Structures are given as C-alpha cells and as structure tokens.
Amino acid sequence: MPKPSDILVDSLGRKHNYLRISITEKCNLRCSYCMPAEGLPLMPKKHLMTSDEIYTLAEVFVKNGVDKIRLTGGEPLVRKDFTTILQRLSSLPVDLTLTTNAVLVDRYIDVLKSCGVNSLNVSLDTLQEDKFLTITKRDEFQKTLQNIQLLIREGFHLKLNVVLMKGFNDNEIIDFISLTKELPIALRFIEFMPFQGNSWDKSRLVTQNEILKTAANHFGAHQLFPLEMEANATAKNYKIAGFQGSFGIISSVSNPFCDTCNRIRLTANGKIKNCLFSNDELDLLTPLRDNTFSESLISEVVSRKKAVRGGMTSFEDLKNPKNHNQNRSMLAIGG
Ligand code: SAM
Ligand code: SF4
C-alpha cells in the first residue's frame, strides 16, 4: 500500500495536484462537438454525487496533495445546489475555479466572489450570433456576451476557450485574437478532440501550426511574442505587441502535453478518471456509500495512467474510432 502522500503520483512520477470535478451531465447548451448527436440519457439523480459526497471525496484528494479544484460538467451552473457545493469546497485550502458557458453566471457573481473564485474559464466558439445558434442550438449569444463583459467589469480573470473546427469558425481566428487588443483576457484556442458521438474527423482539426501561421500572416511574425510557459500549463501562449490580453493554443491532439500532466478527474457519478482520453475509470461513489472506500482505489487508477493520451500514442491510434468511441462524451467526462 503506497504512503498516503504518494497516492497521487503515477508510475512516471507525475504528481496530480489538480482535480477537476464534474458536478452534472446536464447542460443548457447543445454544442455539437461536445454533446453526442443522439443526446445523453439523463442519469438518475441518485447516481450523482451529492454535495456532501463531493466534499468528502475532495477532502481526501486535498489531504493527499491536491491544491487546485475546478468545477465543470455539463454546465456546472445548472446544478441547483451549485452554491452549496462551491461554499463547502471553499473551506478547503485550494485554488477554486470553474469552467462555464457563462449563460447563468450573472446569478452567481456574489457567490463566486465570496468563495474566493477570481479566475474562470468561459467557453465561446464564435463571435457571430447565427453561428452560435448553429453550434449550441440555443439562442443565448447575447446573454453569453453580456455575462462575459460583466465578469470582466467585476474584475474576474478570464480564460476564453474556443474550440476551433475547420470550415466552421477557423475564419474567426483573427477576430478572436483582435479581442485581446482591448480586453485583458487569456484567449485559448482548443484543438477539436475526438469523443464518443461527436463526429470527429481529422480534416476538421485546426492545428497549432495553422493558428500561428494565420496570426503571423495577419499581425506580422515580428509582432507575435511567445510568453513563458507556466509549469503544467496546457496552452502555449502568445501576445501581440501592445495588446492587453494574450492568446494560446491547447494542442491536445497535434502536440499533447501529457508529460507534465497534473490533472485527475472525478465524473458527476463519482468515477475517477486518470486521463481525458482514456476510458479507464473506477467507481469511488459506491464504495463511499457502502463504507468500503479506501484511498488505495485512487492510487490504483493513478498508477495505471498511460504516458500519452490514454495510451493512444500515435496520431493513427487517435484517428481510430474504435479507440475514442469507447470513451465517454466530453459532456459526461467534464472537460
Ligand atoms: N459547460 C462548460 C463549458 O462549456 O465551458 C463546462 C464543460 S465543457 C465540457 C468544458 C470545455 O470542454 C469547454 O471549453 C468546451 O469547449 C470543451 N470541449 C467540449 N468538447 C470538446 C471537444 N470535442 N474538443 C475540444 N474541447 C471540447
Ligand atoms: Fe454544454 Fe459546455 Fe458541452 Fe457546450 S461545451 S454542450 S456548454 S457542456
């Protein structure tokens, strides 16, 4: 049995101090790259971790070295007891944050502040209202924009996530980067990743190199400055000379950052996952409920984490639907 302090260290010596907890599989948007085309059957409520169970499991992780927790989903703000969950987790000594589509964020400004959340990841894939409707199937573009502006006014540090898909929004790369001229946001282009039911196809991928080339062609290569990478960072970041914000690229597909991965995930139904790309998961919730929970369960999953993308070492592996179709959809993992 490993020492408690080692249970979050894998066989390659990667230390997992960043826990991402999905608190729901429900969402108020229907992003085509995330939500499987056939929809997702609603999970019975009793299969979901309660706020107490989320806290209990989070406490175990924190005791063993986790110092950052991100709430995600689905859309975390659709969960009715979001405030309770956040308030309870805010008593732990962690950097607490969330990833949200921002549609409901105006209702939670005070709660976020009182719980010490000062940085959020917000997702927005287009700056065009009709395209927003196409990708999300919901008429929430104006609300999303207003809430992003509200968060900035209220002093939150924002990372803006944009999933790029060829032929859909790759013609907005410059428009997005131009936002960083006046806005102090960290824009991050995310490569489109394959998951169950999201019709991933290599031809729809916009790679890191293509994004950089587009930016350099428009703004001038000499105006593009790489920023220093933080430890465990997933984005390579750049700044255009004189701009307030920055832009980065999360190249999980074309250039993964697995060797410095410090992330571990808990799904809304209490399964621990050692990698976004892997279908390897272990139930922590049932043992917690029947009093057979042991920290060695966590260590078991962490220790068998694969070196790269859940074992899909080559691009050929990743392209093979047999590999990624066994994994959950992004909505059910918690991105
Ligand atoms: N509802 C919240 C949101 O949209 O920000 C949180 C959950 S969402 C699953 C978390 C992140 O995963 C979002 O930034 C979303 O764009 C990203 N995502 C979902 N499916 C993806 C895919 N197939 N490839 C790349 N990123 C994806
Ligand atoms: Fe919902 Fe976020 Fe997935 Fe869009 S990306 S469907 S907002 S969970």
Q: How far is the CA of 140 from the centre of ligand 2 (A)?
A: 13
Contact 100 CB / ligand 1 (< 6 Å): yes
Which of 23, 98, 100, 101 has most ligand 2 atoms within 8 Å of CB, for mutation? Answer: 101
Contact 237 CB / ligand 1 (< 6 Å): no
Which structure tokens are listed for 163? 């999933």
List, in sequence order, the alpha helices (H) in 244-326.
285-289, 295-303, 315-319, 321-324
Radius of gyration, alpha carbons of the chain: 19
Q: Which residue's alpha carbon is at the smallest distance from atom 8 of ligand 2?
A: 74
pLDDT tens digits, the chain, 335 residues: what are they? 445 568 999 999 999 999 999 999 999 999 988 887 777 777 888 999 999 999 999 999 999 999 999 999 999 999 999 999 999 999 999 999 999 999 999 999 999 999 999 999 999 999 999 999 999 999 999 999 999 999 999 999 999 999 999 999 999 999 999 999 999 999 999 988 887 767 778 888 898 889 999 999 999 999 999 998 877 777 789 999 999 999 999 887 877 778 889 999 999 999 999 988 888 889 999 999 999 999 999 999 999 898 876 666 666 666 666 665 555 566 666 66
Contact 33 CB / ligand 1 (< 6 Å): yes
Atom of ligand 2 nearest to the CA of 103: 7
CA distances from 7 to 259, 280, 295 (A): 18, 17, 8
Which of 163, 185, 208 has most ligand 1 atoms within 8 Å of CB, for mutation? Answer: 163
| Ligand 2 pocket list (CB less than 6 A) | 27, 29-31, 34-35, 73-75, 101, 123, 331
Q: How far is the CA of 322 from the centre of ligand 2 (A)?
A: 24
**Which among 169, 83, 88 has a CA at the least distance from the CA of 123?**
169
Atom of ligand 2 nearest to the CA of 27: 1
Q: Which residue's alpha carbon is at the smallest distance from atom 3 of ligand 2?
A: 34
Q: Helix, strand, or coil here: 236? A: strand
Ligand number nearest CA of 76 is 1
Which structure tokens are listed for 208? 């890191």
Which structure tokens are listed for 42? 């609603």
Ligand number nearest CA of 25 is 2
Q: Domain spanning 4-333 has what CATH number? A: 3.20.20.70
Contact 335 CB / ligand 1 (< 6 Å): yes
Where exactly are the structural domains of the chain? 4-333
Q: How far is the CA of 289 from the centre of ligand 2 (A)?
A: 29
Contact 99 CB / ligand 1 (< 6 Å): yes
Atom of ligand 2 nearest to the CA of 72: 8
CA distances from 194 to 32, 135, 323 (A): 12, 16, 10
Q: How far is the CA of 25 from the centre of ligand 2 (A)?
A: 9
- Cα dihedral across residues 125, 127, 133, 134: positive or negative: negative
Q: Which residue's alpha carbon is at the smallest distance from atom 1 of ligand 1?
A: 75
Q: How far is the CA of 193 from the centre of ligand 1 (A)?
A: 10
240 DSSP β-pair partners: 224
> If you write DSSP's letter for every residue of 197-213 in order, what string do you get?
TS---GGGB--HHHHHH
Contact 330 CB / ligand 1 (< 6 Å): yes
